[in-house]
Amino acid sequence: MSQTPSPSSVPELKPGSLVGESFHLIGVGGVGMSVVATLLAEQGAHVTGSDVHEGPAFIELREAGREVVLGHDAANVPEDSVIVISSAIKESNPELAIARERRQVVVHRSQALTLIAEGKDFVAVAGAHGKTTTSAMLAQALGAAGQSPSFAIGGVVRSLGTGAHLGAGAAFVAEADESDRSFLNYGPSIALVTNVEPDHLDVYGTAEAFEDAFLDFAHCLVADGLLIACADDPGALRLAQHADEDGLRVVTYGTGAPDSLPGGALVGEAHIQLTITARSASGTSAVLTRFEADDEQVRSEAPVNLEVAVPGDHMALNAAGAWAAGLELGVEANAMAQALGTFEGTGRRFENRGEAAGVRVVDDYAHHPTEIEALLATAREVAQGRGGRVLVLFQPHLFSRTRDFAERFGTALGRADLVIVTDVYPAREDQADYPGVSGSTVASQVPAGRARFVAGRREAAWAVADQARAGDLVLTVGAGDVTELADVILERLGQRDESAAGESTGGA
């Protein structure tokens, strides 16, 4: 298989020779940036960094002995360092400003990642949603299959305890971010696309431009590289068909048989069919069948059994994509399926946070309407097994996404029994640029009066806790700091437990 080419975008550095190089990461506590910091350090580079927030990733870096400081100040920047930034860092940042003034090398985190991955078979996993889980599944399974992969994932793989590791094997699995077009900086051996559902319209402008960027991403593949695309998603299927027409190698996966695909199977290529055979609150059983098509007929290989230890049809579909990538990397079909069965999930993906007063609290990163629909379908199955309802505390992420998808958010959230919507997590955006957009924009779109807007985060957590009763499933949902509110809900429920216990004993 071809390997990742040297990144021409950072000619000042020699890829593969990072020992002793100095890197300073601005915003080092971000999920994507902390991963890069960890991998640079594991390659022997000297790493420093700064952030304005003392979040979990920042604390972990500090505890690991990395030189990270709170606050952005020009004095933090070593004069001999390469500066690594994300798209969230503005030119007015004092650390970036001093680096520009000194003419230091400044690279995007995706460019730094290409340096780290030099010489590896680079697998870039992209999509509007599902990429964190799919890349984590692939990294976990390759490790279980004895491949010792490197990986860079925007979430903690529970069984591995980290989202970043430099392995001894040939494969490097990375979550590729389309939100700022930075996935176009990669030259992957395998591009795995879970879906091409329009998002980040503040960057792309139109759905057509969003889809065009994914075709550009496919064309970033090295010579003889492979595009793996989910045929269940119309946008990803269109991508596969266009890429096939352009002469790229393509494999699709999905729940339909090849002859049921629009336009039929891609000539000369494979379609992997996922057939779900059983569902439960603890996982999904399925069968994977690989089809080969040519001008005359479609042939199938022996089916392979798959057990996914996390619930939801969408999780099984992600596993099918990871299985396809594993096969391309040389893992035997049954061995890859068995290895995928060891995956236990990632942080903030249907992550159990605890139970109090008979109420289970689960946290999830879903921040796109389709993700929320899939999440609530899974939550409904779990709640029915408990004899309870599904209650949601939702924090919209970005004013632009809230504006663009308010109606779709309302429809998706309508699958819950009760929804509390708190105010928008702005991330890189300024509310002044989006007048009239708030959490109430979403709450007003949820049907049947099942939603209420509570602006204050803690007050919103209390509101959902006060409505919960034994057997219910409460979800904290969103890509912002709503995850912190799971503990607030559990604390409130715990107080109710203590109060009930006191009443039952007459206060004794």
Report how far apart, in Å, the C-alpha atoms of 218 and of each of 78, 150, 184, 229 are: 37, 22, 9, 10
Cα-based torsion angle of the residue sequence 70, 75, 77, 80 in order, rounded to the nearest 10 degrees: -150
Active-site entry in 118, 175, 197, 371 = 175
Token output for 63: 């505890």
Query: Residue 128 in contact with residue 199, Cβ under 8 Å?
Result: yes
Q: At what angle do helices 485-504 and 457-467 cross, to 10 degrees?
A: 40
- The answer to whether 132 is a known catalytic residue is yes
Instruction: For residue 166, give every residue at least 6 positions away whose Cβ sits within 8 Å of its Cβ, in sequence order, or none.
Output: 39, 42, 43, 116, 150
Q: What are phi and psi of 84, to 5 degrees?
A: -115, 130
Phi-psi region of 387 (alpha: psi -120 to 50; beta: other; left: phi over 0): left
* Helical segments of 341-417, H only: 369-386, 399-413
Alpha-helical regions (H) of 76-220: 94-102, 109-116, 131-144, 201-204, 207-218
Partners of residue 230 on adjacent β-strands? 253
Token pair of 476 as six digits: 């904290």
Nearest residue to 328 via CA among 263, 267, 253: 253
The kind and range of the H/E element at 466 are: helix 457-467
Per the annotation, the verdict on 131 as an active-site residue is: yes
Q: Which of 131, 133, 211, 370 is catalytic?
A: 131
Alpha-carbon span 335 to 141, nearest angstrom: 9
Is 483 part of the annotated catalytic residue set?
no
* Cα 433 off chain centre by: 27
How far is 28 from 18, CA to CA, in rounded Å?
A: 18
**With left for phi above 0 and alpha for psi between -120 and 50, is residue 348 left, alpha or beta?**
left
Helix (H, G, I), strand (E, B) or coil at 299: strand
CA dist., res. 151 & res. 311, Å (int): 24
Catalytic residue among 4, 132, 134, 346: 132
Close Cβ partners of 196 (under 8 Å, ≥ 6 residues apart): 127, 128, 210, 211, 214, 233, 235, 236, 238, 239
Whether 502 and 494 have beta carbons less than 8 Å apart is answered as no
Enzyme catalytic residues: 131-132, 175
